[in-house]
Structure 1
Protein backbone atom coordinates (compact mmCIF):
# COMPACT_ATOMS: atom_id res chain seq x y z
CA UNK A 1 0.00 0.00 0.00
CA UNK A 2 1.34 3.45 -0.89
CA UNK A 3 1.33 6.35 1.56
CA UNK A 4 -1.45 7.98 -0.47
CA UNK A 5 -3.50 4.77 -0.22
CA UNK A 6 -2.86 4.62 3.52
CA UNK A 7 -4.23 8.14 3.95
CA UNK A 8 -7.31 7.26 1.88
CA UNK A 9 -7.96 4.11 3.92
CA UNK A 10 -7.78 6.09 7.15
CA UNK A 11 -9.94 8.88 5.71
CA UNK A 12 -12.58 6.31 4.73
CA UNK A 13 -12.55 4.80 8.24
CA UNK A 14 -13.00 8.30 9.70
CA UNK A 15 -15.94 8.89 7.33
CA UNK A 16 -17.62 5.69 8.52
CA UNK A 17 -17.37 6.90 12.12
CA UNK A 18 -18.85 10.27 11.15
CA UNK A 19 -21.81 8.46 9.61
CA UNK A 20 -22.63 7.13 13.09
CA UNK A 21 -22.62 10.51 14.86
CA UNK A 22 -26.31 11.27 14.17
CA UNK A 23 -27.25 14.44 16.04
CA UNK A 24 -24.40 14.33 18.59
CA UNK A 25 -22.10 16.92 16.96
CA UNK A 26 -21.94 18.96 20.15
CA UNK A 27 -21.02 16.00 22.37
CA UNK A 28 -17.82 16.42 24.40
CA UNK A 29 -14.82 14.34 23.37
CA UNK A 30 -11.70 13.09 25.17
CA UNK A 31 -9.96 16.19 23.73
CA UNK A 32 -10.31 18.79 26.46
CA UNK A 33 -12.93 21.40 25.58
CA UNK A 34 -13.53 19.98 22.08
CA UNK A 35 -16.86 18.77 20.78
CA UNK A 36 -17.26 16.19 18.02
CA UNK A 37 -17.82 19.10 15.60
CA UNK A 38 -14.56 20.74 16.76
CA UNK A 39 -12.61 17.53 16.09
CA UNK A 40 -13.95 17.19 12.54
CA UNK A 41 -13.38 20.86 11.71
CA UNK A 42 -9.85 20.55 13.13
CA UNK A 43 -9.10 17.57 10.86
CA UNK A 44 -10.32 19.38 7.76
CA UNK A 45 -8.67 22.71 8.53
CA UNK A 46 -5.26 21.34 9.54
CA UNK A 47 -5.01 19.15 6.45
CA UNK A 48 -6.04 22.03 4.17
CA UNK A 49 -3.54 24.30 5.91
CA UNK A 50 -0.72 21.78 5.39
CA UNK A 51 -1.46 21.45 1.68
CA UNK A 52 -1.69 25.22 1.24
CA UNK A 53 1.65 25.71 3.04
CA UNK A 54 3.11 23.31 0.46
CA UNK A 55 1.65 25.48 -2.35
CA UNK A 56 -0.89 22.78 -3.17
CA UNK A 57 -4.42 24.02 -3.78
CA UNK A 58 -6.99 21.66 -2.23
CA UNK A 59 -9.82 23.61 -3.91
CA UNK A 60 -12.66 25.41 -2.19
CA UNK A 61 -13.26 24.73 1.47
CA UNK A 62 -16.20 22.39 2.02
CA UNK A 63 -19.45 23.62 3.53
CA UNK A 64 -19.26 22.61 7.20
CA UNK A 65 -23.01 22.49 7.81
CA UNK A 66 -23.12 18.79 6.86
CA UNK A 67 -19.93 17.39 8.36
CA UNK A 68 -20.01 13.84 6.92
CA UNK A 69 -20.45 15.30 3.42
CA UNK A 70 -17.85 17.99 4.10
CA UNK A 71 -15.38 15.33 5.25
CA UNK A 72 -15.93 13.20 2.14
CA UNK A 73 -15.53 16.23 -0.15
CA UNK A 74 -12.37 17.21 1.68
CA UNK A 75 -10.91 13.69 1.59
CA UNK A 76 -11.65 13.47 -2.15
CA UNK A 77 -9.86 16.79 -2.64
CA UNK A 78 -6.84 15.53 -0.72
CA UNK A 79 -6.79 12.33 -2.79
CA UNK A 80 -6.97 14.48 -5.92
CA UNK A 81 -4.02 16.56 -4.78
CA UNK A 82 -1.99 13.44 -3.95
CA UNK A 83 -2.87 12.02 -7.36
CA UNK A 84 -1.38 14.96 -9.24
CA UNK A 85 1.80 14.13 -11.13
CA UNK A 86 4.74 14.07 -8.73
CA UNK A 87 2.93 15.52 -5.72
CA UNK A 88 2.85 12.40 -3.53
CA UNK A 89 6.59 11.85 -3.93
CA UNK A 90 7.57 15.51 -3.57
CA UNK A 91 10.06 15.92 -0.74
CA UNK A 92 10.28 18.75 1.74
CA UNK A 93 11.86 19.43 5.13
CA UNK A 94 9.14 18.68 7.66
CA UNK A 95 8.92 19.12 11.41
CA UNK A 96 10.32 15.60 11.95
CA UNK A 97 12.90 15.75 9.11
CA UNK A 98 13.00 15.15 5.37
CA UNK A 99 9.81 13.49 4.11
CA UNK A 100 7.27 13.50 1.29
CA UNK A 101 3.83 15.04 0.92
CA UNK A 102 2.13 11.61 0.84
CA UNK A 103 4.10 10.32 3.83
CA UNK A 104 3.02 13.35 5.85
CA UNK A 105 -0.61 12.85 4.85
CA UNK A 106 -0.46 9.16 5.79
CA UNK A 107 1.86 9.19 8.79
CA UNK A 108 0.91 12.43 10.49
CA UNK A 109 -2.53 13.44 9.29
CA UNK A 110 -3.70 9.85 8.75
CA UNK A 111 -2.39 8.97 12.21
CA UNK A 112 -4.35 11.98 13.52
CA UNK A 113 -7.50 10.57 11.87
CA UNK A 114 -7.13 7.26 13.65
CA UNK A 115 -6.74 8.95 17.02
CA UNK A 116 -9.52 11.45 16.41
CA UNK A 117 -11.67 8.62 15.03
CA UNK A 118 -11.41 7.11 18.49
CA UNK A 119 -12.35 10.45 20.05
CA UNK A 120 -15.46 10.79 17.89
CA UNK A 121 -16.48 7.15 18.27
CA UNK A 122 -16.18 7.19 22.05
CA UNK A 123 -17.96 10.54 22.33
CA UNK A 124 -20.90 9.18 20.35
CA UNK A 125 -21.09 5.67 21.80
CA UNK A 126 -19.66 3.85 18.79
CA UNK A 127 -17.28 0.91 18.96
CA UNK A 128 -13.65 1.61 18.10
CA UNK A 129 -10.53 -0.51 18.05
CA UNK A 130 -7.39 -1.06 16.06
CA UNK A 131 -5.78 -4.37 15.26
CA UNK A 132 -2.49 -5.42 16.83
CA UNK A 133 -0.82 -4.77 13.45
CA UNK A 134 -2.25 -1.28 13.09
CA UNK A 135 -1.37 -0.49 16.70
CA UNK A 136 2.24 -1.55 15.99
CA UNK A 137 2.32 0.71 12.91
CA UNK A 138 0.89 3.66 14.82
CA UNK A 139 3.32 3.12 17.72
CA UNK A 140 6.23 2.95 15.23
CA UNK A 141 5.16 6.24 13.68
CA UNK A 142 4.93 7.82 17.13
CA UNK A 143 8.37 6.39 18.00
CA UNK A 144 9.82 8.40 15.12
CA UNK A 145 8.59 11.62 16.69
CA UNK A 146 10.40 11.08 19.98
CA UNK A 147 9.52 13.54 22.71
CA UNK A 148 7.83 15.81 20.14
CA UNK A 149 4.85 13.44 20.49
CA UNK A 150 4.16 15.12 23.82
CA UNK A 151 4.57 18.69 22.56
CA UNK A 152 1.79 21.14 23.28
CA UNK A 153 -1.10 20.54 20.93
CA UNK A 154 -0.01 17.01 19.96
CA UNK A 155 -0.57 14.49 22.80
CA UNK A 156 -0.82 14.65 26.56
CA UNK A 157 1.48 12.48 28.65
CA UNK A 158 0.92 8.74 28.65
CA UNK A 159 -1.75 7.22 30.88
CA UNK A 160 -1.14 4.01 32.85
CA UNK A 161 -3.07 0.89 31.78
CA UNK A 162 -2.82 -2.73 32.91
CA UNK A 163 -0.19 -4.88 31.20
CA UNK A 164 -2.94 -7.02 29.65
CA UNK A 165 -4.77 -4.03 28.11
CA UNK A 166 -5.90 -4.40 24.49
CA UNK A 167 -3.84 -3.01 21.61
CA UNK A 168 -6.40 -0.21 21.24
CA UNK A 169 -6.25 0.70 24.94
CA UNK A 170 -2.43 0.62 24.99
CA UNK A 171 -2.33 2.93 21.98
CA UNK A 172 -4.83 5.39 23.46
CA UNK A 173 -2.97 5.37 26.79
CA UNK A 174 0.34 6.11 25.11
CA UNK A 175 -1.28 9.09 23.41
CA UNK A 176 -2.53 10.54 26.66
CA UNK A 177 -6.11 9.35 26.37
CA UNK A 178 -7.73 7.41 29.15
CA UNK A 179 -9.19 4.27 27.55
CA UNK A 180 -11.90 4.30 30.24
CA UNK A 181 -13.13 7.74 29.19
CA UNK A 182 -16.84 7.96 28.47
CA UNK A 183 -19.13 10.95 28.04
CA UNK A 184 -20.78 12.15 31.23
CA UNK A 185 -24.15 10.54 31.70
Structure 2
Protein backbone atom coordinates (compact mmCIF):
# COMPACT_ATOMS: atom_id res chain seq x y z
CA UNK A 1 0.00 0.00 0.00
CA UNK A 2 1.09 3.55 -0.70
CA UNK A 3 1.96 5.06 2.72
CA UNK A 4 0.38 8.35 1.64
CA UNK A 5 -2.92 6.57 1.05
CA UNK A 6 -2.72 4.87 4.43
CA UNK A 7 -1.94 8.22 6.07
CA UNK A 8 -4.84 10.02 4.40
CA UNK A 9 -7.29 7.29 5.40
CA UNK A 10 -5.90 7.17 8.93
CA UNK A 11 -6.18 10.94 9.34
CA UNK A 12 -9.79 11.00 8.17
CA UNK A 13 -10.73 8.22 10.58
CA UNK A 14 -8.73 9.74 13.44
CA UNK A 15 -10.41 13.12 12.85
CA UNK A 16 -13.81 11.45 13.23
CA UNK A 17 -12.80 9.58 16.38
CA UNK A 18 -11.21 12.66 17.92
CA UNK A 19 -14.40 14.64 17.26
CA UNK A 20 -16.40 12.01 19.14
CA UNK A 21 -14.05 12.25 22.12
CA UNK A 22 -14.15 16.05 22.09
CA UNK A 23 -17.96 16.04 22.06
CA UNK A 24 -18.32 13.59 24.95
CA UNK A 25 -19.56 15.32 28.12
CA UNK A 26 -17.61 14.56 31.30
CA UNK A 27 -20.61 12.83 32.87
CA UNK A 28 -20.79 10.23 30.06
CA UNK A 29 -17.29 8.77 30.31
CA UNK A 30 -18.65 6.02 32.56
CA UNK A 31 -21.55 5.24 30.19
CA UNK A 32 -21.77 1.61 29.07
CA UNK A 33 -20.58 0.92 25.52
CA UNK A 34 -21.78 -1.87 23.21
CA UNK A 35 -18.64 -3.76 24.27
CA UNK A 36 -19.68 -5.50 27.49
CA UNK A 37 -16.38 -4.97 29.29
CA UNK A 38 -15.92 -1.28 28.45
CA UNK A 39 -17.53 2.00 29.29
CA UNK A 40 -16.95 4.99 26.99
CA UNK A 41 -13.56 5.70 28.58
CA UNK A 42 -12.62 2.05 28.13
CA UNK A 43 -13.24 2.32 24.38
CA UNK A 44 -10.81 5.24 24.15
CA UNK A 45 -8.31 3.41 26.35
CA UNK A 46 -8.39 0.41 24.00
CA UNK A 47 -7.77 2.65 21.00
CA UNK A 48 -4.85 4.38 22.73
CA UNK A 49 -3.34 1.03 23.75
CA UNK A 50 -3.62 -0.27 20.19
CA UNK A 51 -1.93 2.88 18.87
CA UNK A 52 0.94 2.20 21.24
CA UNK A 53 1.13 -1.41 20.04
CA UNK A 54 1.83 -0.09 16.53
CA UNK A 55 5.12 1.36 17.81
CA UNK A 56 6.55 -1.85 19.25
CA UNK A 57 7.54 -3.66 16.03
CA UNK A 58 9.80 -0.76 15.08
CA UNK A 59 11.34 -0.39 18.53
CA UNK A 60 9.61 2.84 19.53
CA UNK A 61 7.95 3.75 22.80
CA UNK A 62 4.92 6.02 23.33
CA UNK A 63 5.59 9.70 23.80
CA UNK A 64 4.92 11.32 27.15
CA UNK A 65 1.36 12.47 27.59
CA UNK A 66 -1.74 12.37 29.77
CA UNK A 67 -3.51 9.13 30.65
CA UNK A 68 -6.96 8.25 29.36
CA UNK A 69 -8.12 8.27 32.98
CA UNK A 70 -7.12 11.92 33.35
CA UNK A 71 -7.65 13.29 29.85
CA UNK A 72 -9.15 11.04 27.14
CA UNK A 73 -8.78 13.68 24.42
CA UNK A 74 -5.19 14.52 25.31
CA UNK A 75 -4.28 10.82 25.53
CA UNK A 76 -5.73 10.13 22.10
CA UNK A 77 -4.00 13.17 20.56
CA UNK A 78 -0.67 11.97 21.94
CA UNK A 79 -1.20 8.44 20.58
CA UNK A 80 -2.37 9.81 17.24
CA UNK A 81 0.70 12.00 16.89
CA UNK A 82 2.93 8.97 17.46
CA UNK A 83 1.20 6.95 14.74
CA UNK A 84 1.15 9.86 12.30
CA UNK A 85 4.89 10.24 12.84
CA UNK A 86 5.30 6.59 11.78
CA UNK A 87 3.26 7.13 8.63
CA UNK A 88 4.91 10.41 7.64
CA UNK A 89 8.42 8.92 7.86
CA UNK A 90 8.78 7.16 4.51
CA UNK A 91 11.56 4.85 5.73
CA UNK A 92 9.58 3.85 8.81
CA UNK A 93 6.29 3.47 6.94
CA UNK A 94 7.83 1.11 4.41
CA UNK A 95 9.81 -0.94 6.93
CA UNK A 96 8.78 -4.59 6.99
CA UNK A 97 7.51 -5.92 10.29
CA UNK A 98 5.95 -9.07 11.68
CA UNK A 99 2.26 -9.19 12.50
CA UNK A 100 -0.42 -11.86 13.04
CA UNK A 101 -1.13 -11.46 9.31
CA UNK A 102 2.52 -12.16 8.43
CA UNK A 103 5.28 -9.85 7.21
CA UNK A 104 4.01 -6.51 5.97
CA UNK A 105 5.05 -2.84 5.82
CA UNK A 106 4.37 -0.67 8.85
CA UNK A 107 1.92 1.45 6.84
CA UNK A 108 -0.13 -1.64 5.99
CA UNK A 109 -0.09 -2.80 9.61
CA UNK A 110 -1.43 0.57 10.78
CA UNK A 111 -4.03 0.56 8.00
CA UNK A 112 -5.25 -2.96 8.76
CA UNK A 113 -5.26 -2.70 12.54
CA UNK A 114 -5.60 0.60 14.33
CA UNK A 115 -7.01 2.57 11.40
CA UNK A 116 -9.83 0.04 11.02
CA UNK A 117 -10.30 -0.03 14.79
CA UNK A 118 -11.11 3.69 14.69
CA UNK A 119 -14.12 2.93 12.52
CA UNK A 120 -15.54 0.06 14.58
CA UNK A 121 -14.82 1.59 17.95
CA UNK A 122 -15.94 5.01 16.79
CA UNK A 123 -19.38 3.43 16.47
CA UNK A 124 -19.04 2.02 19.99
CA UNK A 125 -18.10 5.41 21.43
CA UNK A 126 -20.85 7.20 19.54
CA UNK A 127 -23.50 4.74 20.74
CA UNK A 128 -22.28 4.92 24.34
CA UNK A 129 -22.40 8.72 24.37
CA UNK A 130 -25.54 9.34 22.30
CA UNK A 131 -23.78 10.77 19.25
CA UNK A 132 -24.29 10.16 15.54
CA UNK A 133 -23.01 6.61 14.94
CA UNK A 134 -23.16 6.73 11.14
CA UNK A 135 -19.93 5.39 9.67
CA UNK A 136 -18.29 6.99 6.64
CA UNK A 137 -19.72 5.31 3.54
CA UNK A 138 -16.25 4.65 2.09
CA UNK A 139 -15.26 2.82 5.25
CA UNK A 140 -18.34 0.61 5.18
CA UNK A 141 -17.81 -0.22 1.51
CA UNK A 142 -14.17 -1.06 2.10
CA UNK A 143 -14.49 -2.92 5.38
CA UNK A 144 -17.65 -4.99 4.89
CA UNK A 145 -15.93 -7.57 2.63
CA UNK A 146 -12.91 -7.61 4.97
CA UNK A 147 -15.12 -8.34 7.97
CA UNK A 148 -17.14 -10.91 6.00
CA UNK A 149 -13.95 -12.86 5.29
CA UNK A 150 -12.66 -12.99 8.88
CA UNK A 151 -11.59 -16.47 9.99
CA UNK A 152 -13.83 -18.35 12.45
CA UNK A 153 -11.11 -18.12 15.13
CA UNK A 154 -11.87 -14.43 15.73
CA UNK A 155 -15.16 -15.46 17.33
CA UNK A 156 -13.58 -18.00 19.69
CA UNK A 157 -12.49 -16.58 23.06
CA UNK A 158 -8.85 -17.45 23.74
CA UNK A 159 -8.06 -18.58 20.18
CA UNK A 160 -5.32 -15.95 19.90
CA UNK A 161 -4.05 -16.37 23.44
CA UNK A 162 -5.22 -16.58 27.04
CA UNK A 163 -7.92 -14.04 27.92
CA UNK A 164 -7.92 -12.56 24.40
CA UNK A 165 -11.39 -11.96 22.98
CA UNK A 166 -11.36 -10.50 19.47
CA UNK A 167 -15.08 -10.45 18.66
CA UNK A 168 -18.26 -11.56 20.34
CA UNK A 169 -20.65 -13.94 18.60
CA UNK A 170 -22.14 -12.75 15.32
CA UNK A 171 -25.47 -10.97 15.60
CA UNK A 172 -28.10 -11.94 13.04
CA UNK A 173 -28.87 -9.10 10.64
CA UNK A 174 -31.14 -9.60 7.59
CA UNK A 175 -29.44 -9.76 4.20
CA UNK A 176 -31.41 -6.73 3.03
CA UNK A 177 -30.33 -4.56 5.97
CA UNK A 178 -28.12 -1.52 5.35
CA UNK A 179 -24.46 -2.36 4.79
CA UNK A 180 -23.39 -0.73 8.05
CA UNK A 181 -25.84 -2.89 10.00
CA UNK A 182 -24.64 -6.05 8.25
CA UNK A 183 -21.04 -5.19 9.04
CA UNK A 184 -21.88 -4.53 12.69
CA UNK A 185 -23.61 -7.90 12.97
CA UNK A 186 -20.50 -9.62 11.64
CA UNK A 187 -18.50 -7.70 14.25
CA UNK A 188 -20.68 -9.13 17.00
CA UNK A 189 -22.62 -5.92 17.55
CA UNK A 190 -26.36 -5.31 17.59
CA UNK A 191 -26.90 -2.43 15.14
CA UNK A 192 -29.87 -1.30 17.22
CA UNK A 193 -28.03 -1.36 20.55
CA UNK A 194 -29.15 1.37 22.95
CA UNK A 195 -27.23 2.45 26.02
CA UNK A 196 -28.90 1.31 29.25
**Same fold? TM cut 0.5:** yes
1:153-168 alignment to 2 at 5 Å? Answer: 153-168=165-180
Mean alpha-carbon deviation: is it higher for 97-106 or for 116-125?
A: 97-106
Equivalent pair of 2:170/2:186 in contact (CA under 8 Å): yes
Q: Give TM-score, length-normalised by structure 1.
A: 0.89
Matched, 1:178 2:163: no
* Structure 2 residue 151 is the aligned partner of structure 1 residue 139: no
Cα distance in 2 for residues equivalent to 1:127 and 1:45 = 24
After superposing the two structures, state which structure 1 stretch, 62-71 or 165-174, moved more.
62-71
Over 3 Å counting, the alpha-carbon distance change for 1:26 and 1:54 in structure 2 is same
Alignment match of 2:42 (pick from 38, 41, 48): 38
- The alignment partner of 1:99 has SS state of strand
The total of aligned residue pairs comes to 184
Structure 1 residue 6 corresponds to structure 2 residue 9: yes
In the TM superposition, what whole-angstrom CA distance separates every residue of 1:16-58 from its partner, at most 9, and x where no partner exists?
Answer: 1112211200000011121111111111112213312431233
**Could you tell me which of 141, 149, 154 is aligned with 2:154?**
149
Q: Deviations over 1:125-173 (max 9, x none)?
A: 1111224442121123335643343243211222111232112111111
Equivalent of 2:29 in 12, 25, 33? 25
In the alignment, is the contact (CA less than 8 A) between 1:155 and 1:175 conserved in 2? Answer: yes
Q: Does 1:71 align with 2:63?
A: no
Quick one: higher RCO (CA 8 Å, sep 6+), 1 or 2? Answer: 1
Does the 8 Å CA contact 2:167/2:188 hold for their aligned counterparts? Answer: yes
- Pairwise CA distance, 1:180: 1.3
> What CA deviation, in whole Å up to 9, does each residue of 1:98-142 have, x standing for no partner?
211111112211111111100010011111122444212112333
Change (3 A) 1:4 1:133: closer
Contact 1:26 1:36 in 2 (8 A): yes
